[in-house]
């Protein structure tokens, strides 16, 4: 509230207090204490020790809280409440924007003034400690040219390898053999930190630990700056800082019920700026098939039919 408005309100309150004091002086029996005792003091701000003007000082009878006298502080913070009969009182000091202040058991004797000294008022504005605002980013963020999947926001994607992580990314499919497709297209280019890798995509994803991945960016409409190989889309795997350095390796053996066997070994060495990769793959497939073929030839005005079957 504007300080000028506060002063006007306080000035009005002071006038009312003065009228109240005048009425109190006119009560029957009030004249018997003519030249009686007074209570005085100074009102200051507890924070800056500055005087408070227009603060209201009320003298209340201790036994029943009835008002005996009212006064107001001046521009230098001083106040005087006069014509107070002998007895015990409670002094209440109040002002807009400050907490009420009470002084108990103030004893007044005939013909003597009571000096209360400096009375400090505390502001009602509560001080709060440091406020920390934390923003939670979503698991999937949609940008103009891509969708970003944050691995740390998905519990299921924080274990295993990169293949397991991609299975949690919307629009990305991974088959049983580790082949990756984007919205049904296998013409996908996989990048690591925005750069292509010479390692086979399936092998690359198997050797990347899930906990080394910070986020995965899916670009469904790649611009001309990307390799034509990724016309079906781009999957950019962004690693955590320092996650790609050091020596990593993996060994995998796969077997299926239809006599398909696959073994692979991978080794990667990255001291910082240079990355060396080596891989070995062995695949043995035995596939049974049967079929029947019929061919018709027209030669020298004759028709020749050939039929064959194979297993």
Show me where the domains of the chain are located. 3-121, 140-285
Q: Which residues pair with 150 in a beta bridge?
A: 215
**Distance in angstroms (rounded) separating the CA atoms of residues 55 and 284:** 96
pLDDT interval class at 50 (50, 70, 90): very high
For 140-285, CATH gives 2.170.130.10
184 exposure class (CB count in 10 Å sphere: 0-12, 13-18, 19+): exposed
Query: Strand, helix or coil at 157?
Result: helix
Which of 2.60.40.10, 3.40.50.720, 3.40.50.970, 3.30.300.30 is the CATH number of 3-121? 2.60.40.10
Q: Is 244 exposed, middle or buried (0-12, 13-18, 19+ CB in 10 A)?
A: middle
- Two tokens at 308? 């064959």
pLDDT tens, residue by residue, 249-294: 666 666 666 666 666 666 666 665 666 666 666 666 665 666 666 6
Which whole number is the average pLDDT over 146-166?
80
Eight-state DSSP code of residue 209: B
Whether the Cβ atoms of residue 149 and residue 214 lie closer than 8 Å to each other: no
Beta bridge partners of 39: 81, 114
Please write the tens of the pLDDT for every residue from 192-204.
Answer: 888 887 777 888 8
Query: What is d(CA 9, CA 15) in angstroms, rounded to the nearest whole number?
Result: 10
Q: Residue 51 has what pLDDT?
A: 94
CA distance 41 to 115: 6
Domains 3-121 and 140-285 share a fold: no
Question: What pTM does this model have?
Answer: 0.42
Q: What is the mean pLDDT of the chain?
A: 76
Highest mean pLDDT among 14-28, 45-59, 213-227, 294-308: 45-59
How much of the chain exceeds pLDDT 70, in percent?
A: 59
pLDDT band of 206, cuts 50, 70, 90: confident
pLDDT tops 80 at residue 296 = no
C-beta contacts of 57-61 below 8 A and 24+ residues apart = 57/81, 57/91, 57/92, 57/93, 58/91, 58/92, 58/93, 58/94, 59/84, 59/89, 59/90, 59/91, 59/92, 59/106, 60/89, 60/90, 60/91, 60/92, 61/87, 61/89, 61/90
């Amino acid at each position: 509230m504007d300080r000028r408005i506060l002063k006007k309100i306080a000035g009005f309150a002071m006038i009312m207090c003065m009228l109240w004091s005048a009425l109190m002086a006119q009560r029957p029996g009030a004249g018997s204490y003519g030249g009686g005792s007074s209570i005085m003091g100074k009102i200051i701000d507890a924070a800056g020790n500055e005087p408070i003007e227009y603060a209201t000082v009320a003298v209340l009878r201790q036994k029943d809280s009835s008002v005996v006298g009212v006064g107001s502080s001046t521009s230098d913070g001083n106040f005087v409440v006069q014509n107070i009969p002998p007895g015990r009182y409670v002094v209440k000091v109040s002002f807009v924007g400050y907490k009420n202040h009470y002084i108990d058991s103030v004893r007044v004797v005939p013909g003597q003034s009571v000096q209360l000294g400096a009375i400090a008022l505390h502001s009602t504005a509560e001080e709060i400690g440091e406020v920390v605002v934390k923003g939670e980013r979503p698991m999937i963020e949609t940008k103009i040219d891509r969708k970003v999947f944050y691995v740390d926001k998905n519990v299921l994607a924080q274990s295993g390898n990169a293949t397991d992580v991609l299975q949690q990314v919307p629009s990305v499919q991974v088959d049983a053999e580790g082949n990756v497709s984007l919205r049904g297209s296998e013409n996908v280019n996989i990048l690591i930190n925005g750069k292509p890798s010479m390692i086979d995509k399936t092998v690359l994803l198997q050797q990347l630990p899930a906990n080394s991945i910070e986020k995965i960016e899916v670009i469904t409409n790649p611009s001309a700056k990307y390799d034509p190989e990724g016309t079906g889309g781009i999957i950019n795997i962004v690693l955590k800082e320092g996650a790609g350095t050091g020596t990593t390796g993996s060994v995998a053996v796969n077997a299926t019920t239809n006599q398909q066997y696959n073994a692979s070994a991978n080794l990667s060495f990255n001291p910082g700026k240079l990355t060396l990769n080596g891989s070995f793959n062995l695949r043995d497939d035995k596939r049974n098939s049967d079929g029947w073929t019929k061919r018709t030839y027209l030669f020298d005005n004759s028709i020749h039919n050939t039929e064959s079957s194979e297993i």
